[in-house]
Amino acid sequence: MKQLVGTGVALVTPFKKDFSIDTEALKRIVDYCVDGGVDYLVVLGTTGESVTLNKAEKMLVMNTIVKANDGRLPLVLGIGGNSTYRIVHEVRAFQSDDFDAILSVSPYYNKPTQEGIYQHFKAISEVATKPIILYNVPGRTGSNMLPSTVLRLAEDFKNIVGIKEACGDMKQVQQLIDGKPNEFHVISGDDPTALATVLAGGSGVISVLGQGLPELFSNMIRLGLEHNYEESTKLHEAMSKGMDLIFEEGNPAGIKSIFETLQLCDATVRLPLVEASAELKEKIATFVKPFLKVTA
């Protein structure tokens, strides 16, 4: 899937002060990302606070993004969880020509064995009508999907087309790149290692900061894919502080603070998450403002 090369962004779900979904803000963010040059949009991922949304709210988010995007960029939908039965049911029921692939996280909290992870994705693969991107994020799930398991899935199921790898360990990322089938995508799910992953042979990133600084971040990844080490590294170094700041008090509190600075949406998040502190907001605003002059 060529659509998975470059910069994808894991879109936030903007909320109003009363915690209802702000569809107008969501439209603005979609336009901002498309105009900024990102390559695809990821809908209802962790950054979108999907675990706090009910079914009707998820449909509202999906429909709003589909309409705002208007076919301009490929769309990836997050469908994941720790109940294999429920996820299989959702994936089997999902029918939409508007989405190009599914992003599915490794089961969290249960802490399955590698065989359990394999069987979970095997069950999903057998009912999916869309390509599947695996998602490994040990810091959230409590278990690490090892390269041997990922490569086994990649070899056994042709509709498993890539992995969003957020382990933060470049040795593990390199094992995936070295062992993967030709058409399988290794995609960074970790902003600080995004450029390193691309320079090592990965396909790109599904980014958080990329939706706040879409032009700069997508340019960095394009330069990395072109093996332009010097220029891509300059952009990485310029944004590296922001990569740390937006996760300082949890995701998506940080990236929503950037959007508040940009006047694209409110910084409100849903419990159990809380809005970024005034101190962090000030640091984030200080980080962002010089880039606004660059991209103006």
Give the residue numbers marked as catalytic: 135, 164
Give which of 9, 23, 166, 5 is closest to 78, Cα–Cα.
9
Q: Confirm if 216 and 235 have CB atoms less than 8 A apart.
A: yes
Question: Which of the 8 DSSP states describes residue 96?
Answer: -
Q: Confirm if 179 and 173 have CB atoms less than 8 A apart.
A: no
Q: Give the 3-state secondary structure of residue 53.
A: coil
Q: Confirm if 164 and 206 have CB atoms less than 8 A apart.
A: yes
Return all residues near 115 (Cβ < 8 A) that are at least 6 apart: none
Provide the H-helix boundaries in 126-180: 138-141, 147-156, 170-179
Q: How far apart, in whole angstroms, are the C-alpha atoms of residue 222 and residue 102?
A: 23
For CA atoms 51, 56, 62, 64, the dihedral sign is negative
